[in-house]
Structure 1
Amino acid sequence: MSKPVILCVDDEPIVLESLRAQLREAFGDAYYYEVAQDADDALEVLDEIQAENTDVIVIVSDWLMPGMKGDEFLIKVHQRFPKVVKVLLTGQADETAIARVKVEANLHKCLFKPWSEADLIEAIQSGLASHG
């Protein structure tokens, strides 16, 4: 059985590199770490992972991305994968979008850029514990 996946979605490659490095440092080889640069990309990655019978257990998504915004993306994900822990990472999400994703996608946590590594790791650990 393959390892579960943590998927990070952000249109800035430097943010994705930083997230992946922080997650790998905190969780080591316990998970696979996938990245996507926009919501459409991420949905394709989710389809590929599902086709391999692997579970995505956490998604960390930016809010402001080209095409589909993070709130809309996480709501779509929730409709297909309700058990996935969802973390919104944003520099500029409006309160309405955050409230909407909390209600419609069971958002676990919203972190604001620049985030602290400790907050990111805590959000994922508490999300995994509560969705366990």
Structure 2
Amino acid sequence: MKQGILLCVDDEAIVLNALRDQLRKVYGSKHIIEVAESAEEGLEILDELAGEGLLPLVIISDFLMPGMKGDAFLIEASKRFPFVITVMLSGQVEESAVQRTRDEAGLFSFFAKPWDSDELLLCIDNGLKQFAERFQEAQHGSH
């Protein structure tokens, strides 16, 4: 599988820096770690990288952000990239938004801030395995 993208979207720089540092230590040699300070910027990054033939593997998004909220962002991202693993990481979220994201974007997991780094990394490991399975099944199904 080609090198893929792990994208973190949050309007707080301190959160983005922490996520980027954690992900780079574990996944930086295999995948591109990208960050965006808004959902709109996240969609721009996804479109740009997709144009280069790169797939988003995992997207971690905050819920409460200016402009587009995290649930709408993850739903839109999953429409564009149906195999992507979506994770919501938020301090404030409405249960209805989490449920909507589960229903419409196949939300893989939800974490409350502050998050446990080991649990998040385990989630991403599991998500990457599931992405590979989904992608492989789709490739075999299209032949």
Kindly report the root-mean-square deviation, in angstroms, between the aligned alpha carbons of the 2 structures. Answer: 1.2
Checking the alignment, whether the CA contact within 8 Å between 2:71 and 2:100 is kept in structure 1 is yes
CA contact 2:90–2:111 (8 Å) conserved in 1:
yes
TM-score normalised over the length of structure 2 = 0.89
Larger Rg: 2
Distance 1:26 1:2 in 2: 17
Q: Which runs of 4+ in 1 moved over 4 A?
A: none
CA distance in 1 between partners of 2:50 and 2:25 (Å):
25
AA aligned to 2:115 is W
1:95 and 2:95 equivalent?
Answer: yes
How far apart are 1:127 and its partner, in Å?
Answer: 1.0
Tell me the equivalent position of 1:48.
48
Please give the alpha-carbon distance, in whole angstroms, between the structure 2 residues aligned to 1:66 and 1:96.
Answer: 19
List per-residue Cα deviations over 1:49-103 (Å, max 9, x = no partner): 0111111111000000000100010011111111001000010111100011001
1:60-99 maps to which residues of 2 (within 5 A)?
60-99=60-99
Pairwise CA distance, 1:2: 5.8
Amino acid at match of 2:30: A
**Counterpart for residue 127 of structure 1:** 127
Asked if 1:57 is matched to 2:39, the reply is no
Using the alignment, how far apart are the partners of 2:66 and 2:32 within structure 1?
25
Which TM-score applies when normalising by structure 1? Answer: 0.96
Q: Residue 29 of structure 1: SS of its match in structure 2?
A: coil
Counterpart Cα distance in 1 of 2:64 and 2:8? 14
Q: Structure 2 regions of 5+ residues with no counterpart?
A: 133-143
Distance in 2, matches of 1:2 and 1:82, equals 17
Aligned pairs (5 A) from 1:30-45: 30-45=30-45
Number of residue pairs aligned between Structure 1 and Structure 2:
132
In the alignment, residue 124 of structure 2 is paired with which amino acid?
I
Asked whether the equivalents of residues 57 and 131 of structure 2 are also in contact (C-alpha less than 8 Å), the reply is no
Equivalent pair of 2:8/2:16 in contact (CA under 8 Å): yes
